[in-house]
Amino acid sequence: MRVPKKERQRLLQETIEHNPFIKDEELSKQFSVSIQTIRLDRMELKIPEVRERIKHVASEHLDEVKSLSMSEVIGDMIDLKLDDSAISVLDIEKEHVFSRNEIARGHVLFAQANSLAVALINDELALTTKADIRFSRQVHLGERVVAKARVLKLRGDGRTDVTVESYVGEECVFDGDFTIYRRSEEEQA
Partner DNA sequence: CTGCTATTAGTACCAGGTATTAAGTTCTTT
Partner DNA sequence: AAAGAACTTAATACCTGGTACTAATAGCAG
- Site mask for DNA (CB under 7 A), range 123-142, x = bound: --------------------
Rounded to a whole number of angstroms, the minimum distance from the CB of residue 60 to DNA is 19
Does the footprint of DNA cover residue 149 (CB under 7 A)?
no
Interaction partner, residue 29 (a second copy, DNA, none; CB < 5-8 Å by kind): none
DSSP 8-state symbol, 97: B
If the CB atoms of residues 4 and 156 are measured against DNA, the closer one turns out to be 4
Cα separation, 8 vs 90, whole angstroms: 46
User: Least distance to a second copy from the beta carbon of 122, Å?
Assistant: 15
C-beta of 33: minimal distance to a second copy in Å? 26
3-state percent breakdown (helix, strand, coil) of the chain, nearest 5: 35, 35, 35
Q: How far is CA 112 from CA 4, 18, 33, 136, 145, in A?
A: 49, 29, 49, 16, 9
Alpha-carbon distance of 154 to 120, in angstroms, equals 12
Q: Would you count residue 8 as binding DNA (CB under 7 A)? A: yes
What are the start-end ranges of the E strands in 9-143?
Answer: 76-81, 85-91, 125-135
Nearest alpha carbon to residue 113 among 152, 143, 75, 80 = 75
Task: Characterize the bridge pairing of strands 144-154 and 171-183.
Answer: unpaired
Residue 34 CB, shortest distance to DNA, in Å, is: 4
User: Which of 19, 34, 129, 136 forms a contact with DNA (CB under 7 A)?
Assistant: 34
CB of 5 or CB of 169, closer to a second copy:
169
Q: Which residues bind a second copy (CB under 8 A)?
A: 20-21, 51, 54-55, 57-62, 64-71, 74, 95-96, 98, 100-101, 103-111, 114-115, 118, 124-125, 127-139, 173-174, 185-189
